[in-house]
C-alpha cells in the first residue's frame, strides 16, 4: 500500500487524470443504465401501441417534402412516400426555384405514380433566416388538410409509415408526433461512423430524455403535426429564425400545452459518401446547434461519453505504474459502448449495422466527444452552401444574404 501511495504522490498529473477517468467511466456507466431502462420502456410501449384499421377514421394528410439538390437514392426516398398504404394523402414537394436538380427526379417519381395527388411548390428566394422553413410555410398555405407530415428528402420509410404516425394525432391532446430513425451508410467508413451515431448515440439521448421528462422537442427526419397545434404557436414561422427548427417546433407545441409523442421506428436516414472533413463538419454544426438550443443539457452531455475517459484512464494507469487498472478502465468503457450499440441500435432501431459493427461504435463515441468539444469554438457554420452565424437561443443569421425575422424583427 505504501509503495502505491508513493507512486501516486509523485505523479500528481496522472493521478488527477485517473480520478477524472474514473468519474467519467462512472457517469457514462450510469448513462448506459438509464439508456437500457429507457429502451426497455420504449420497447414495451411500442409493442402495446394500437393501430387503426378502419380507413374511414383516418384523416386526409399532406406530406411536406422540401428538396435541395441531388442526393444518393433520392428517387427511392421519394418513391417510398408515394407508396404509402393510406387512404387519403397528398404530397407537396417544395423547392426554391425550377433550377433545383432534385425536381427532375421528383418529376420522374410523380410520373410513375400518377394516381397519387402531388404538386410542386416553388418558394422563391428566402427572406427568413431558415430557408427550409420559408419553403415549408409556402407549402402549408397550399394545403386544405389539417394533418401535416414534414420529412427530409434523405429519409426513406415503410409503406405503413402514415398508419403509424397519424393515429396518435387523433387524440386532441397530442399535437405532434416524431420518430427515431436509423442511419443508412453509403459504403464508406465515415458515413458508417455517422450512421452509427444516428442509430445509437442520438436515440440513446432521446430515449433518456423521453423517460426523464417526456418529449419536449421533435426530430427533424419526421414531424407529424396537426393544424390547430401549428396555429396555436403562430404557424411554422415560429421556427424560422432557428437552425434547429425541429427542436423549436416540438418545444413550442409542448409549451402550448400539447403532448409530443415519440412513435414507433421504421425510418431510415440515407447518407452520402463524403470525406471525413465534410462528415465531421456536419456533425459539428449539429453539435453547435444543440449547444445553443439546450445549453445546460449540452454541457452535461460531455459526461455521457465513455471512450475519452477510457483512453485517459489507460494512459494514467501506465503513467502511475498500475497498468492493470488502466487496462480495466479502458476495457470497461469499450464494452460499455459495444453494449449500447447492440441494445439501442440493434434491438430498438433494428439496425443490423449497429450489431455487425458494434466493435466500431467506441470509435464513433470518441468522435462524438471531439465534436462536442469542438462545439464550444466558433459561432459560424456552413449549411447548404451558405454561411450562417449562431446567436442567442439558437437563432441564426445568414452572412451572405439579407434576412428578416419571421416575426418582423430585422436581423
Give residue 336's pLDDT.
Answer: 97
Rounded CA-CA distance 194/186 in Å is 10
- pLDDT tens figures, 12-41: 788 899 999 999 999 999 999 999 999 999
Q: How confident is the model at residue 1 (pLDDT cuts 50, 70, 90)?
A: very low
Contact assessment for residue 330 and residue 314, using Cβ atoms and an 8 Å cutoff: yes
Q: How confident is the model at residue 49 (pLDDT cuts 50, 70, 90)?
A: low
**Record: fold of 55-293:** Spore Coat Polysaccharide Biosynthesis Protein SpsA; Chain A (3.90.550)
Rounded CA-CA distance 280/154 in Å is 18
Q: What pTM does this model have?
A: 0.91
Contact assessment for residue 290 and residue 244, using Cβ atoms and an 8 Å cutoff: yes
Show the cell assigned to 394.
439558437
- pLDDT tens figures, 175-203: 999 999 999 998 889 999 999 999 999 99
> Which sequence spans correspond to the domains of the chain?
55-293
Rounded CA-CA distance 280/354 in Å is 20
- pLDDT tens figures, 371-391: 999 999 888 888 877 889 998
**Distances from the Cα of 403 to the Cαs of 95, 105, 133, 265, in angstroms?**
18, 30, 13, 36
Q: What is the DSSP string of 106-153?
A: HHHHHHH-TTSEEEEEE--S--SS-HHHHHHHHHHHT---SEEEEE-T
User: For 146-157, what is the mean pLDDT?
Assistant: 95
Show the cell assigned to 23.
468519474
Task: Inform me whether the pLDDT recorded for 72 exceeds 90.
Answer: no
Q: How confident is the model at residue 48 (pLDDT cuts 50, 70, 90)?
A: low
- pLDDT tens figures, 237-249: 999 999 999 999 9
* 265 φ, ψ (degrees, to nearest 5): -75, -170
Amino acid at each position: 500500500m505504501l509503495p502505491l501511495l508513493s507512486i501516486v504522490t509523485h505523479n500528481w498529473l496522472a493521478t488527477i487524470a485517473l480520478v477524472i477517468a474514473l468519474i467519467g467511466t462512472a457517469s457514462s456507466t450510469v448513462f448506459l443504465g438509464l439508456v437500457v431502462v429507457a429502451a426497455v420502456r420504449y420497447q414495451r410501449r411500442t409493442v402495446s401501441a394500437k393501430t387503426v384499421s378502419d380507413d374511414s377514421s383516418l384523416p386526409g394528410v399532406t406530406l411536406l417534402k422540401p428538396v435541395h439538390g441531388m442526393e444518393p437514392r433520392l428517387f427511392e426516398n421519394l418513391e417510398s412516400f408515394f407508396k404509402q398504404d393510406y387512404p387519403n394523402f397528398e404530397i407537396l414537394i417544395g423547392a426554391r426555384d425550377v433550377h433545383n436538380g432534385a425536381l427532375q427526379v421528383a418529376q420522374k417519381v410523380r410520373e410513375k405514380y400518377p394516381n397519387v395527388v402531388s404538386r410542386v411548390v416553388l418558394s422563391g428566394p428566402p427572406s427568413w433566416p431558415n430557408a427550409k422553413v420559408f419553403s415549408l410555410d409556402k407549402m402549408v398555405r397550399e394545403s386544405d388538410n389539417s394533418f401535416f407530415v414534414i420529412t427530409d428528402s434523405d429519409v426513406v420509410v415503410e409503406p405503413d409509415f402514415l398508419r403509424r404516425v397519424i393515429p396518435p394525432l387523433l387524440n386532441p391532446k397530442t399535437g405532434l408526433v416524431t420518430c427515431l430513425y436509423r442511419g443508412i451508410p453509403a459504403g464508406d467508413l465515415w458515413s458508417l461512423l455517422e450512421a452509427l451515431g444516428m442509430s445509437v448515440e442520438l436515440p440513446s439521448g432521446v430515449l433518456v430524455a423521453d423517460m426523464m421528462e417526456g418529449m419536449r422537442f421533435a426530430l427533424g427526419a419526421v414531424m407529424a403535426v396537426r393544424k390547430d397545434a401549428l396555429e396555436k404557436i403562430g404557424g411554422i414561422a415560429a421556427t424560422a429564425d432557428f437552425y434547429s427548427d425541429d427542436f423549436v417546433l416540438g418545444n413550442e407545441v409542448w409549451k402550448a400545452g400539447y403532448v409530443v409523442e415519440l412513435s414507433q421506428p421504421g425510418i431510415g436516414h440515407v447518407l452520402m459518401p463524403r470525406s471525413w472533413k465534410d462528415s465531421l463538419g456536419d456533425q459539428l454544426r449539429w453539435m453547435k446547434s444543440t449547444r445553443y438550443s439546450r445549453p445546460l443539457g449540452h454541457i452535461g452531455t460531455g459526461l455521457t461519453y465513455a471512450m475519452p475517459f477510457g483512453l485517459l484512464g489507460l494512459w494514467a494507469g501506465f503513467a502511475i505504474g498500475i497498468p492493470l487498472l488502466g487496462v480495466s478502465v479502458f476495457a470497461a468503457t469499450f464494452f460499455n459502448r459495444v453494449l449500447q450499440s447492440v441494445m439501442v441500435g440493434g434491438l430498438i432501431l433494428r439496425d443490423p449495422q449497429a450489431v455487425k459493427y458494434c466493435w466500431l461504435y467506441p470509435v464513433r463515441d470518441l468522435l462524438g466527444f471531439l465534436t462536442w468539444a469542438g462545439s464550444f469554438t466558433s459561432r459560424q457554420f456552413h449549411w447548404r452552401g451558405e454561411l450562417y452565424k449562431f446567436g442567442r437561443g439558437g437563432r441564426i443569421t445568414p452572412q451572405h444574404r439579407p434576412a428578416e425575422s419571421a416575426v418582423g424583427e430585422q436581423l
